[in-house]
Chains A and B, each alone.
Chain A
Amino acid sequence: MKAVAIKFLNITGMRWGIPLVKLFSGEQVLQQLKEIGKTIVAPILAIIGFLLIWSFFASQITTSLGRLPGPVAVWQQAQSLWQEHLVERKKADEFYARQEDRNAKRRAENPGAKISTVEFTGKPTYIDQIITSLKTVFMGFTIASLIALPIGVICGLSKTVMKAFNPLIQIFKPVSPLAWLPIVTMIVSAVYVTNNGFFAKSFIISAITVSLCSLWATLINTALGVSSVNIDYINVAKVLQLSPTKKTFKILLPATLPLIFTGLRISLGVGWMVLIASEMLAQNPGLGKFIWDEFQNGSSHSLARIMVAVFTIGIIGFILDRVMVELQKLVSFEKASL
């Protein structure tokens, strides 16, 4: 039980809970209390301090949208966003219930009647927007990985290819998503002309912008990983005279996986960061658009709602990072003990 709890806390990145678990199981009480002081009390004090300073300065600053919201106002808005979500869901459910009712009646009257179902077209709630953002970032991340991994492997295998690609990589790597966005918008508008495509245009534009900014970390890490594979492993491949395909899949890729995952982790982090900006401008209905709309909206609640979004973005970014760390642990062999 205790071991399970500790493992769970380890995986979820909540290591601060471990001393608590140990304390309740009565293991070295004094030491656990010290540990708790360090890992739980200290961060809590820091957070309380931050909230105090925040609310103090917030009360000092008056903007055109009223007083800058403090922690309490932000918390209220978070709750109200959740309430709005529930209300909207209820509306949707009622809408579908009514529609189902109507259709059932029609079927009863005339079994051969044509029955059409209509999608509910309410405005997207905050939760919907979070989901859209996640979908977009994963789409962008997938595109980025599909491009970066093969090119990275090729760059790692051949110094010539690496030298050839290097200037392009170095030049495009630091470009901001805001610079890419107009170009991507124009290209997508020109190429993706269907009006009822599977993906919305704004979704594709945001996703491509995300991938353009996030693929570099994966590419560079993969290339570095492949080119710096332990010479001993390469010698094994040489002595066994492995074919190039076997060499790649049995030796190079397994040896490179830890570095590839480091790259993917950085890429996902960059992608999530870049996503908000590109959604703002591409009007993809995610968190970025939420922030932009609230900013344009200019109600007395807007700033508090934007701050809710800031915390949401931060927390989701943290969770994504944790997921990547755990995946990385899964694929890594123990390097230190070799």
Chain B
Amino acid sequence: MSLELINVSKGFGEGKSRTDVLDNINLKINVGEIVAIVGFTGSGKTTLVKLMAGLLVPDRGNVFFKGEVVNGPGKERGVVFQNYSLLPWFTVFQNVMLAVNEVYPQWSKEQRCDHAKKYIEMVNLGSALNKRPAELSGGMRQRVSVARALSMNPEMLLLDEPLSALDAITRGILQQEIVNILGNDKTTALLITNDVDEGILMADRIIPLNPGLKATLGPEFKINIERPRDKTALNDNANFIKVRNEIIEYLMDMGGEANPQKTNSYDLPEISPVMPQSFFSKKTTKAA
């Protein structure tokens, strides 16, 4: 068991202005497993990641990492933030080095440089080593963020909608890259996403986060598709289509108004049209 959440609840504010975001969340993630949490925007996904990262403390319940209660952030749990969170005054290399220096203070400077460069190369940013985040595209920034998290060699990687701000093509490429790197290192990972396809492509299990206040986790969907998964081939995979439809159906049901096929029946009063002609002739009106 790597990460475990037991009866975790979290809300913000006090008294009347209090909003309960997450309620009674139970989740177990095994070592080496990639779990995706899928949900609508605003359902508390980022709050969930922050709880796991230790940036937030649950109101009730506990977050355990390797059997110990999580009290704060730790280097063993790397985080890739939704909005990159790169430091704009540092270059790509310096941003990654900041993390490497913290995790491997005992290494020589050369070792640390090589280590940082290795991970920057891994996300194909070798040519942008000395560029600042402002000079990079969104996809490149996200890669730096991934490289920074991976360079810490965390036991677990928390990915908070890492690809949601990217265009479809860059997104596809990065999905593949991240899965490859995670698979090579057998890193445990939790992926937050709003894209069901992305979840199926990358994860071993998908768990929907029910929308609305006091969000809870839905039933888990196991993805029994062999790796490596090819994005284009997946479209014809019967298994993929089945599990995708199941998840989307579940989310639609939970989403309520988001369901386009939902039909309501109303009792309509019986009315027949009154023509202006007949309005003036009392006979016909009464006869009707």
Interface, chain A (partner B; CB < 8 A): 232-233, 235-236, 238-242, 250-251, 254-255, 257, 333-335, 337-338
Contact = CB atoms under 8 A, between A and B. Distances in A.
B89 interface: yes
Nearest to A337: B134
A235 B50 CA distance: 10
A337 to B, nearest CB: 4
A239 B49 CA distance: 12
B61 to A, nearest CB: 21
B134 A338 contact: yes
Which of B73, B88, B132 has the most C-beta atoms of chain A within 10 angstroms of its own C-beta? B88
Identify the 9 closest CB pairs spanning chains A and B, nearest first. Answer: A232-B85, A254-B89, A334-B134, A333-B88, A337-B134, A239-B73, A238-B73, A240-B102, A333-B89
Interface residues of B toward A: which range?
Answer: 20 to 34
Interface of B: 53-55, 72-75, 77-79, 81, 83, 85, 87-89, 98-99, 102, 132-134, 152
A238 B55 contact: yes
A338 B133 contact: yes
B53 A335 contact: no
Contacts of A233: 85, 87
Q: Is the interface of B mostly helix, strand, loop or mixed?
A: loop
B81 A235 contact: yes
A241 B89 contact: no
A257 B89 CA distance: 10
Nearest to A246: B102
23 contacts: A232-B81, A232-B85, A233-B87, A235-B55, A235-B79, A236-B81, A236-B98, A238-B72, A239-B55, A239-B73, A239-B75, A239-B78, A240-B75, A240-B98, A240-B99, A241-B73, A241-B75, A250-B98, A254-B87, A255-B87, A334-B134, A338-B88, A338-B134
Nearest to A238: B73
Given A232-B81, A333-B132, A239 B53 contact: yes
A101 B72 CA distance: 79
A225 B132 CA distance: 22
Which of A240, A250, A333 has the most C-beta atoms of chain B within 10 angstroms of its own C-beta? A240
Contacts of B75: 239-241
Given A333-B132, A333-B134, A337-B134, A241 B81 contact: no
A236 B134 contact: no
Contacts of A232: 81, 83, 85
B56 to A, nearest CB: 10
Contacts of A240: 75, 98-99, 102, 152
Contacts of B102: 240-242
A333 B136 CA distance: 14
Nearest to B75: A241
A235 B56 CA distance: 11
Contacts of B152: 240
Given A241-B73, A250-B98, A334-B134, A236 B55 contact: no
Given A241-B73, A241-B74, A251 B55 contact: no
Given A239-B78, A240-B102, A335-B88, 5 more contacts: A239-B73, A239-B79, A240-B98, A241-B74, A338-B133
